[in-house]
């Protein structure tokens, strides 16, 4: 079984979650816990970097649906970056690009946050 893993780091003052491996109905709770922890600590400018994520099922997308309102209501956002084509295709099929900021590169998400804060 391929593992799923999340690393947490801070870049330019923004919270970054790096996802690794495969995100499905079994591993989605780990992502949920990581997001909950950030929100509970009033951290609301969150970037999720998918560079090392090989696979996503709808349970993974469901986590972003469940928490985006909480984050936006405290003035923040969850921005998604560096998805491979296979992973992006799932977000696209379900219509996420119109409601979420999805960037090719983490730098673009940082820039967008910096512009929003101005």
Partner 1 sequence: MNKAVTYRKKINASTQNLSDVREFVSRHAEKHGFTSRQVADVQLAVDEACTNIIKHAYNYDASKELSIELEFDDEKMNVTLTDQGMGFDVERYKKPDLKKQIARKKRGGMGVYLIRNLMDEVNYYAESRENVLRMIKNRN
User: Would you tell me which residues interact with partner 1 (CB under 8 A)?
Assistant: 1-2, 22, 24-26, 55, 57-59, 61-63, 65-66, 68-70, 86, 89-90, 93-96, 98-99
Name the residue nearer to partner 1 (CB basis): 19 or 110.
Answer: 19
Minimum distance, C-beta of residue 113 to partner 1, in the bound complex (Å)? 20
Name the residue nearer to partner 1 (CB basis): 100 or 108.
Answer: 100
Minimum distance, C-beta of residue 74 to partner 1, in the bound complex (Å)? 14
User: What residues contact 66, with CB distance under 8 A and at least 6 apart?
Assistant: 32
User: How distant is the alpha carbon of residue 73 from its chain centre?
Assistant: 17
Minimum distance, C-beta of residue 5 to partner 1, in the bound complex (Å)? 14
User: What residues contact 57, with CB distance under 8 A and at least 6 apart?
Assistant: 23, 24, 25, 90
Quote the strand ranges of the chain, DSSP E. 5-11, 14-23, 45-56, 77-81, 102-103
């Amino acid at each position: 079984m391929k593992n799923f893993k999340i690393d947490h780091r801070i870049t330019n003052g923004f919270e970054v979650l790096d996802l690794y491996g495969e995100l499905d109905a079994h591993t989605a709770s780990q992502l949920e816990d990581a997001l909950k922890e950030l929100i509970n600590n009033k951290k609301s400018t969150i970037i999720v970097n998918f560079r090392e994520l090989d696979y996503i099922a709808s349970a993974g997308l469901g986590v972003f649906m469940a928490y985006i309102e909480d984050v936006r209501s405290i003035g923040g956002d969850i921005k998604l970056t560096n998805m491979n084509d296979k992973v992006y295709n799932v977000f696209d099929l379900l219509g996420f690009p119109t409601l979420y900021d999805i960037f090719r590169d983490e730098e673009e998400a940082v820039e967008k946050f910096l512009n929003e804060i101005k």
